[in-house]
Structures are given as C-alpha cells and as structure tokens.
Amino acid sequence: MRITAALLVLQSSRALSLARPRLTKRTVLRGGSTIDTTKPLPRRITAFVDRNFFVCGMVASVAVAGFSPGPGQACEKFVGKYAVATIFVLSGLGLKLAELKKAATNTKLNGLTQGANLIAFPALMLPVISLLRKTSLDGRLLDGLLVTSCLPTTVNMCVALTQASDGDVAAALTNAVIGNLLGVVVTPALVFMLMQKSVQLPPAAQVARSLGAKVALPVFVGQLLRRSRWIRSMLEKRKTLAKRAQELALLSVVWCAFSAAFGKGLGVSGSDLAALLIGLPLLHVFILRLCLKVGRTQFEEKEATAFAFCASHKTLAFGLPLIRTLFEGSPDLAYYCAPIMVLHPAQLFIGSLFAPGLKERNVTP
C-alpha cells in the first residue's frame, strides 16, 4: 500500500509539472511581437537585423556616408547607372504582364496620382510659402521650395519603396513613367505661372529616350528573363534573395545620395540649412500620411501604397537640371537647389521607416 501510494503521489506530481506552463524569458515588443531573451545576444541581434534589414541598412548607409563621404561620391555614377538598372530588372522579373496591363489602364489611380503630385501638391504649398514669407526665412529658399513643389515624382525611388512595402509595383512603375513624361510640359508651365519665369527643358523626345533607357529597357529585360520557366521557378524559390538584392541596390543609391549631400554641401547659411533639415522632413511626413489616408479611401491597400509614394515624392534627377536652367548664372543658385537636395535623401529615409509598417498591412489578408 505504501508503495502504491508513493507511486500515485509521484504520478500526480509529474502530471502537475507537465500541466504547469514553462516559464520563458520573453520581452513583449510594441505590436505584440516577442524576443526570446534566452537566446545568445549575437543571435538576437542577427534576428533583429534580419526582420528590419532595410531600416538597419538605411541607418548604416547614412552613418557610413557621414563618416566618409568620399567613396560614395566616387561611386555615384556607377551606382546611378547599374544599381538603378538592377532595381528595374528585378521589378520586371517579379511583375506579371497582366499586372502591368491592369496598372496602365487604371485611369482612376493614374489620374488621381498625377493630379495629387502635379496639381494638389503646388496648390497646397502656395499658402504655406505665403505664410513663410512673413518669417525670417530667406526668400530665395522659398522660391526653390515652390519650384520643388512643381516637380514630378521620382522614377526609381517610389518604385523601390513600393516594392519594399509589398505594394502595387506595377502601379508605381506606370505612374513614375507617366509623371516624368508629363513633367516635361506641366512643370515648366507651373513654374512660369507661379513664378512668372520661363524655362527651356530638354525636348520631350530626349526625355522619353532617357526614360526608355533607364526604366523601360531594364523592365523589358526582366520580363524577357521571366519567360524562362527555369528562372521563374528559381525566383519562386529565392524570393527572399531577390528582395535582398533589390534592397541592397536601393541602399547603394541611398549611400551615394547622402555621400553627395555630406561631401559637397548645400552652399547655404547654417540657420537656413537647419530650417530645411527640420522643416522638409516634417513636411514630407505630413504629405505622405495625407496621401496614405486619401489613398485608402479610394483604393485597396497595395494600390494606396503606390499612390502615396508616387504622389508625395519629388524627383532630384529631373529637378536639378530644371532649376539650374531656370536660374542659370544666378549667384543664388545654391539657395534654389537646396530644397530638393535636402528633400531627396529625406524621402528615402522616411520612406524606409514607413516601409515595414506598410508591408505588414499589405501582407495581412
């Protein structure tokens, strides 16, 4: 009997121990995710970087550019040519032809995107700039900000950030091309109307050839490669690798952009530069959030992501030649160029911070 009782007690205690939940050291993060603190620190760091690769890469790119801008400046042409081409080849590889056709014929999305970028954006900035003229800010900077508001969207940046956010890449690609083609006509007209200045830009055929070489040709190459069953199969198996390659290509563009900003400087006074560095990122966050809010009332989440990035971005590649032509020979050229030079890297950095949250919304069924 004693032996039987002992066995019953032993079994009962064992059952209780099995039923008792195991205690693990976990830290609950914002959003409900957890980190297992029982793992070694290097493994936890590696896991964190893997989950937040793009944001960590952005921070590292800016830090390296600030510490030593020389290498980034030296590689600017190489990266601008081959990294951008890589982004669009990979975009072409990942896009189905049906998605491109659907995006090209989506008149509502395309019309609202271009209207927001080229009409609503300058209209919003006019009263803001009128108020700022009553402050101590340099009027030449405000003129440059007005010109910046009239520029079309970026070509590679809005596509890459849409891709990083798992948004509608076909819609972003379509509107990047449409916006820059429209910008040849619309931007000079807006600048002339708002600033009473005329400007001559490269012929539309030249801009079309440039867009064809930088955008259409790499996407076409990607589409041709996609026709191979072996490449499609490999792409399906290596989705993470393809995504990492595209993110690294974009990060190289970020590195060069910040290297140029740190290395060349902007040529304006310290107080004006401080105002730009504080004001323009805040302005971009406001406009990006506004575009996201408007987009979600009109489109599904993936399309709203593409709409927000394309509608809120302004191009440096198109903008600098325009501003330099408009104010050719002016001793204040640096003041007119400064806003877009500050806004360009700010768009990259802020967009990368928004990308993980947008991706989470886009992948949630």
DSSP sequence for 142-178: HHHHHHHHTS---SHHHHHHHHHTT--HHHHHHHHHH
Average pLDDT score over the chain = 78
DSSP assignment letter at 95? -
pLDDT at 289: 96
pLDDT at 13: 45
Helices (H), the chain: 2-19, 41-51, 53-67, 69-74, 76-94, 97-104, 107-115, 121-132, 139-149, 156-164, 169-195, 204-211, 217-226, 229-237, 239-264, 270-298, 301-312, 316-326, 333-363
pLDDT at 4: 45
Looking up tokens 């290509």, which residue turns up?
249
**How far is residue 204 CA from its own chain's centroid?**
26
Q: How confident is the model at residue 3 (pLDDT cuts 50, 70, 90)?
A: very low
Comparing 94 with 162, which gets the higher pLDDT?
A: 162
Give backbone dihedrals phi and psi of 28, rounded to 5 degrees, phi first: -85, 125
Digit-coded pLDDT (tens) for 190-231: 887 887 665 555 566 766 677 677 767 887 888 888 888 888
pLDDT at 127: 92
Q: How confident is the model at residue 310 (pLDDT cuts 50, 70, 90)?
A: very high
The predicted model gives 302-312 an average pLDDT of 95
Looking up tokens 């012929």, which residue turns up?
203
295 neighbors 305 (Cβ within 8 angstroms): yes
pTM across the whole model: 0.68
CA distances from 257 to 58, 254, 262, 309, 322 (A): 12, 5, 9, 18, 19
Q: Is the pLDDT of residue 36 over 50?
A: yes
Report how far residue 42's alpha carbon sits from residue 48's, in angstroms, rounded to the nearest whole number.
10
pLDDT at 40: 77
Q: Is the pLDDT of residue 24 over 70?
A: no
335 neighbors 144 (Cβ within 8 angstroms): yes
| Residue positions counted in the chain | 365
pLDDT at 11: 47
pLDDT at 135: 85
Digit-coded pLDDT (tens) for 129-167: 999 888 888 888 888 899 899 999 987 789 889 988 999
Report how far residue 63's alpha carbon sits from residue 259's, in angstroms, rounded to the nearest whole number.
10
What percent of the chain is modeled with pLDDT above 70?
79
The predicted model gives 276-304 an average pLDDT of 94
Of 1-15, 74-88, 131-145, 297-311, the one with minimum mean pLDDT is: 1-15
Q: Is the pLDDT of residue 8 over 50?
A: no
Give backbone dihedrals phi and psi of 36, rounded to 5 degrees, phi first: -80, 105
Task: Provide the CB-side half-sphere exposure for 200 (13 A, CA).
Answer: 2
Q: How confident is the model at residue 5 (pLDDT cuts 50, 70, 90)?
A: very low
Report how far residue 103's alpha carbon sits from residue 276's, in angstroms, rounded to the nearest whole number.
35
Pull the structure tokens for residue 274: 């401080």
The predicted model gives 65-77 an average pLDDT of 83
Report how far residue 280's alpha carbon sits from residue 343's, in angstroms, rounded to the nearest whole number.
6
Q: What residues pair up with 35 in beta bridges, in sequence order?
A: 27
pLDDT at 131: 92
Comparing 260 with 33, which gets the higher pLDDT?
A: 260
306 neighbors 162 (Cβ within 8 angstroms): yes
- Of these ranges, 8-12, 84-88, 265-269, 275-279, the one predicted with the greatest mean pLDDT is 275-279
pLDDT at 92: 73
208 neighbors 170 (Cβ within 8 angstroms): no
211 neighbors 181 (Cβ within 8 angstroms): yes
Residues 6+ apart with CB under 8 A from 338: 141, 144, 266, 267, 268, 272, 273, 276
Name the helix (H) or strand (E) containing 28: strand 26-28
pLDDT at 203: 63
